[in-house]
Structure 1
Amino acid sequence: IVSRDAYNQSHYKKTKPKKPTAEQKKVIDHLISSFDNKDLTPCLIRGVTGSGKTEVFLQVIDYIIAKGKSAIVLVPEISLTPQMTERFVGRFGGLVSVLHSGLSLGERYDEWQKILNGSVKVVVGARSAVFAPFDNLGIIIIDEEHEGTYKSEISPYYHVREIAIQRSKNEGALVVLSSATPLITTYCKAESGKYKLFEMENRYNFSDMPAVEIVDMRRELELGNKTVFGNKLLAELEINIKNGEQAILFHNRRGFNSFVMCRSCGTVLTCDNCSISLTYHKYHGRLKCHYCGFERDNATQCPSCNSPYIRYMGMGTEKIEEDIIKLFGEDSFIRMDGDTTSGKNSHEIILRKFERENIPILLGTQMVTKGLDFPNVTLVGVILADLALNTDDYRAAERTFSQLIQVCGRAGRGDLLGRAVIQTYQPEHYALRLAKEHNYIEFYQHEIAIRKQLFFPPYCDIVMLLMQGEDENSIIKELVAIATKLKGKCHAMLGPVAAPYARIKNKYRWRILLKCRDTNKLLPFLQTILQEHSNSENNLTIDINPNSMN
């Protein structure tokens, strides 16, 4: 019998428990006491980046394993699995199993069998690992609980937190939520007493939080700087490279240019299957749709007016890569985004290379913003903070604040002080100002007041009914009929209207949005609507508090 291992244990050094700080000890003692006393009240740990939350997990799990129980540790995406695996295998050796979508079917089968036969006691993995089939579960830990990837965007629509709490009730396991920037809805539950709240305000080594400077890119343009690097960020990168230290550059858009436009008639080149602009990928010389995978050759003239005046607008990580090469050379960086991490174990290979070869710059999308712990990273640069801020979603400010806090927290986690440079065209925005101050509490108070005034979660649930199909008129007719039935059954209703992405994969998309005070009362009616339209030529889905409104 051949067993396929998801990791090579010999790659990881054995570690011993560290002496906990007073803040860590308080949390450890409470969780152990809750476990012993079967107190299943979920716990929220709000700990600043670098406060040692992972060490808390390790010591509590060590106790739980000694009592004959098992543990599930969840991370929001595959890119975080290698470092978390290293920490847990270093402490628990072969008792650790890894589960995520990057494994082959055979590897996943073998990991599943290890869990079933009891040869492992800890599972580290992404969203689906919450279903790991332990029959003696003692604790479920959801790290970086604020991340949207914990919500499934395909049927069945579930949130890891809800599954974890239900397993807790069924199996008597503790549930621990952890983040430097908890969701507004989660922190509200902790404030109301539904969750037990712990605050860890200091880094483990008691070093200062990174000093953050906000750069107004409007001023840079006035001074004649039209590059993606403001003078401050460029100067800090030069200092870092000179000192042999490392930097992380964050830009949440892959590709070379965001879209391609004709300067003569204004036509934007869009996907044949979707109402979405194509992204230019210079490395392959292709225009690509990031939603359906459609590709075409790069345009040399406008398809509408035949003009040769084609303009490439916006920028992605490929474009920034080109600028880095011009400034610092080809060996100065490594890139980590959706285009460079499609291969097996690519996340681990890139991160290991960055650390072991002391490569000066790690350039990437959102996957470099969280969970990474490199002692020699002393500088973080945010190329453009405005990308997430200007989306049509009530959580835009929350997501921007969280992203900035998380990525800035990658700097200064070792003995060297950290610093961060945030480039923006909206330096006065409260999300940026409070991120600079690392002030979660004031941000929460500001944001929760807005949510209450505008009646957004946590004061209501948002229910999205999305219908997709090839005949747009048929979709509209069905949704109008549904909207008629829904009148008076919720606090507010918007629609039917075309979704922001009105067509994807040759399917038209229309939606109805509901604001509901008590969704549980509406669930039977929504179930009836689903059943009534189950045989329709159009596909109807209903999602409560969807991660994306698109």
Structure 2
Amino acid sequence: MFTYRSPADFNDYLQVGCRVIVQFGSRKIMTGIIGAIHTTPPQKYEAKSLLDILDQEPIIHPPQIKLFQWIADYYMCTLGEVMNVAIPSGLKLSSESRVQLYPDFDLYDSDFDFSDNELLLIEILEKNESLTYSEIGKALQIKNSFSIIKSLVQKDAVIIYEEIKEKYKPKKQRRIRLKSEYEDKKVLESLFKQLESQPKQEELLLAYLQHMPIYKQPELNSKGIEKSLLQTAELSASSLKTLIRNNILEEFEITISRFEDDNSPLTEIKLTENQQHAKNEILDSFKTKDTALLHGITGSGKTEIYISLIKDALESESQVLYLLPEIALTTQIVIRLKKVFGNKVGIYHSKFSDNERVEVWNGVLSGRYQLVLGVRSSIFLPFDNLGMIIVDEEHESSYKQYDPAPRYNARDVALFMAKQHHAKVLLGSATPSLESYFQAKEKKYGLIELNRRYGEAQLPSFEIADMLREGKKKTLKGEFSSLLINHLNEILEKKEQAIIFQNRRGYSPYISCEQCANIPKCTNCAVSLTYHQYKKQLICHYCGYHEPMPNECEACGSKSLKTIGVGTEKLEEDLELLIPEAKIQRMDLDTTRNKNSYERIITDFENQEIDILVGTQMVTKGLDFDHVSLVGVFDIDRMLHFPDFRAYERTFQLTTQVSGRAGRREKKGKVVIQARNVELPILKDIISNNYLKFYDEEIREREMHRYPPFTRLIGIRIKNKDKNLSHRAANRLSNLLKEQLGSQRVLGPQEPVINKIRNEYLVELLIKLERGSIDLNKVKQIIQNCSNEILNEKDLKSSKIVFDVDPY
């Protein structure tokens, strides 16, 4: 927060939440948001004056500022870092330096000598009001014009100023309408008689009347029609100009939404007896608790319950936020919600352009959108009357932001938001996070169980493919078991569909030399490069570094290079060889980078234009397809043995969720899990869909080893381009924290599995804090003070220290 003076003529327009233009430092012009209005001048610096006020009405509400401050405090980051993520970049200003001649400058009256380039620039500026640095560089045909501009500033020949531009641009539409005096039938007939000698003008006027029924509804004429409707090959462009010039037609411009209104009739939702019972239980729990957990097995019809609750909330004129973990999910659910709620639904996610995000933001401000469906960043929208927050698939790790700060979890922020707005929160999942289920068991949340699938749908049957056994029998086909291939052939004969889940994108995790076993590594990160066949490249999934697929080993020169392991791209290629008649599509980060690629793939799959969908976690989410009767799960052993205390929980969730895609209607689906260790107890829990047994076993482990929900965790990551300095800083910080917090609460320092990313060496500490008996805010202050002490040391100040509250 910084304090600025307000000029007297601004005082009547100042409101908390409005954007202002301020000078920051000697040169920068920045957007500020008014956080507080007071009469206390700052003690340590002279307050500058506001340059301008941008908004007549606030773009954020005071409760949002409190929310942003809470996020900054809880997740140990700055308020500015929160605001930067929260506010769409289209609402921030861009500042661009421009150069113009000094108003009183006279070349012939100047005492200075000028170089040829300086004289040329003066000549160019005499013809142009002002130019940017890049425009000057092009005009002078030189790469760096800064020294010339600096010299001219010193000679009082030019001045530099900042031009402020708003990034958001409303979408405009040019329209045409008939002048109001011609709306009268007799006047219009008289006009046509005048135009008998001008057939092209007459034709154009008739074309207008085809789109605009003036005789029946003259009141519609004021709205006009899109200009593009009269700009066809058959109609004369010059005739349109003549009719406008002669005041028969007039052209005007309107601002339109980037989101098309859907005026199709709305549908009603009818709940089954089972769903109605669950809804009643939720409403009962809301009488005494602000949060309820709906534990409903896959396919049990949770979405219909959500829709019914949303309908009730909107009828009471409250706003509703419906959170989803992935953009992939929004495509199907938007269609369902639009059928029920029409144009009250706003959608908000990262694939939207800046302008689209601003329009949704403004739509929430104006009350146009009562219901917002969005991913984690939707929590930052300017709600002022929030009645309910639904967090679907609440267990999902996608709700957690990892980089950059704030490293927040949208599910947990939603709980705080609900308190602010006196709203209710409904968490929903077929596989709840252990923390949420624990809170429900402890009676802090309401708990509603929904154990039957919707309608006649049945849970799928499971088969385990023993990969070690098939390997010995030599029945494997690449990475596919004979069991899975046989089932894939069967479903294709029945004209049904399959989903193959592999939690790893790319063609192959890495390539290796058969002679010396060398594995190509990223130059910036301590990680092997992933081979991507479609690009013929080795790519780092951490920093984006890439290089062409080598022809020979960089270490020994051998040409014997082989790919190790499989990603989604390799599975797609293998399936095309094994089942050439199948139509196969991949859904992962690489195939869904474009804005509408999710929708296209999902629509094609729904329309049965794809037989087999191969994908990463995206295919495990709550997608609903009628014709999927088989799901294949790859590499479950690797997921289970990932070095993370949540590995079993995540594997149970992912496998159960993707299994739920099979047999969504009256057909019983089948799931094939490929495993090397078929005796693992967790496989039995997955097959029997026994969440309670899994929960009981896992919660005992957590309590024994002091992990959440029995403790709070704060991760600390120390980064430095010098490996020795990163270790020294980590050791110093560890010792300071152990002195203050006790050695049993501070784990580490230790190097993470990947100890170098983007040329920075990483060392980690983990703080474990028992719940209930410790002041969390005080501990955070201690951690912050110790970190500042490290960064104030001369030899360690080049380090970066990053905090992650509630990591993983």
TM-score computed with the length of structure 1 as normaliser = 0.95
Aligned to 2:637: 386
Deviations 1:297-335 (A, max 9, x none): 112221112222212100111111111111222751111
Contact 2:390 2:425 in 1 (8 A): yes
Aligned to 2:769: 516
C-alpha distance in 2 between matches for 1:52 and 1:375? 14
Aligned to 1:286: 537
Deviations 1:452-503 (A, max 9, x none): 1122111112221101121121111111111111115153432212121111
The counterpart of 1:175, out of the listed 404, 422, 425, is 425
SS of 1:43 mapped into structure 2: strand
Aligned to 2:369: 120
C-alpha distance in 1 between matches for 2:789 and 2:301? 51
Identify the range of structure 1 (528-537 vs 50-59) with the bigger mean alpha-carbon deviation.
528-537
Aligned to 1:202: 452
Q: Any residues of structure 2 matched to 1:214-363 within 5 Å, and which?
A: 214-226=464-476, 227-329=478-580, 332-363=583-614
SS of 2:802 mapped into structure 1: strand
SS of 2:631 mapped into structure 1: strand
Name the aligned partner's letter for residue 804 of structure 2.
D
The counterpart of 1:157, out of the listed 401, 407, 411, is 407
C-alpha distance in 2 between matches for 1:538 and 1:429? 43
Cα distance change on mapping 1:13 and 1:256 into 2, 3 Å = farther
Aligned to 1:540: 801
Aligned to 1:20: 272
Cα distance change on mapping 1:513 and 1:129 into 2, 3 Å = same
Q: Alignment length, in residue pairs? A: 543
Aligned to 1:373: 624
Contact 2:734 2:749 in 1 (8 A): yes
Name the aligned partner's letter for residue 465 of structure 1.
I
Aligned to 1:76: 325
Aligned to 1:527: 784
Aligned to 1:467: 718
Deviations 1:421-475 (A, max 9, x none): 1111121112222111111000001111111112211111222110112112111
C-alpha distance in 1 between matches for 2:382 and 2:791? 32
Aligned to 1:99: 348
Name the aligned partner's letter for residue 267 of structure 2.
T
Q: What is the CA distance between 1:215 and its match in structure 2?
A: 1.1
- Identify unmatched segments of 5+ residues in structure 2: 1-253
Cα distance change on mapping 1:432 and 1:4 into 2, 3 Å = farther
C-alpha distance in 2 between matches for 1:438 and 1:494? 35
Name the aligned partner's letter for residue 118 of structure 1.
G
Aligned to 1:29: 280
Q: Whose RCO is larger (CA < 8 A, sep 6+)?
A: 1
SS of 2:630 mapped into structure 1: strand
SS of 1:412 mapped into structure 2: coil
Aligned to 1:504: 757
C-alpha distance in 1 between matches for 2:267 and 2:566? 42
C-alpha distance in 1 between matches for 2:703 and 2:316? 44
Contact 1:467 1:509 in 2 (8 A): yes
Cα distance change on mapping 1:533 and 1:137 into 2, 3 Å = farther
SS of 1:146 mapped into structure 2: coil
Aligned to 1:147: 396
Q: What is the CA distance between 1:534 and its match in structure 2?
A: 5.8
C-alpha distance in 2 between matches for 1:102 and 1:416? 35
1:190 partnered with 2:454? no
C-alpha distance in 2 between matches for 1:13 and 1:297? 54
Q: Larger radius of gyration, structure 1 or 2?
A: 2
Aligned to 2:35: none
SS of 2:768 mapped into structure 1: strand
Cα distance change on mapping 1:2 and 1:393 into 2, 3 Å = same
C-alpha distance in 2 between matches for 1:353 and 1:374? 11
C-alpha distance in 1 between matches for 2:581 and 2:380? 43
SS of 2:751 mapped into structure 1: strand
SS of 1:501 mapped into structure 2: coil
Deviations 1:264-295 (A, max 9, x none): 22211111111110011111111111111111
Name the aligned partner's letter for residue 691 of structure 2.
Y
Deviations 1:81-101 (A, max 9, x none): 111211211210110000000
The counterpart of 1:133, out of the listed 374, 382, 386, is 382
TM-score computed with the length of structure 2 as normaliser = 0.65
C-alpha distance in 2 between matches for 1:56 and 1:391? 35
Aligned to 2:359: 110
SS of 1:500 mapped into structure 2: coil
Cα distance change on mapping 1:303 and 1:239 into 2, 3 Å = same
C-alpha distance in 1 between matches for 2:327 and 2:581? 27
Q: What is the CA distance between 1:344 and its match in structure 2?
A: 1.1
SS of 2:702 mapped into structure 1: helix
Q: Percent identity?
A: 38
Aligned to 2:186: none
Identify the range of structure 1 (93-102 vs 78-87) with the bigger mean alpha-carbon deviation.
78-87
Q: What is the CA distance between 1:40 and its match in structure 2?
A: 4.6
Contact 1:4 1:106 in 2 (8 A): no
1:487 partnered with 2:738? yes
Contact 2:484 2:672 in 1 (8 A): yes
Contact 1:495 1:513 in 2 (8 A): yes
Cα distance change on mapping 1:161 and 1:513 into 2, 3 Å = same
Name the aligned partner's letter for residue 746 of structure 2.
M
Cα distance change on mapping 1:53 and 1:276 into 2, 3 Å = same
Name the aligned partner's letter for residue 359 of structure 1.
I
C-alpha distance in 2 between matches for 1:365 and 1:2? 41
Cα distance change on mapping 1:6 and 1:441 into 2, 3 Å = farther
Contact 2:390 2:426 in 1 (8 A): yes
- Identify unmatched segments of 5+ residues in structure 1: none
Question: What is the CA RMSD across the aligned residues, in angstroms?
Answer: 1.8
SS of 2:394 mapped into structure 1: coil
Contact 1:260 1:280 in 2 (8 A): yes
Identify the range of structure 1 (46-55 vs 525-534) with the bigger mean alpha-carbon deviation.
525-534
C-alpha distance in 2 between matches for 1:260 and 1:231? 26
SS of 1:510 mapped into structure 2: strand
Aligned to 2:663: 412
Q: What is the CA distance between 1:108 and its match in structure 2?
A: 0.5
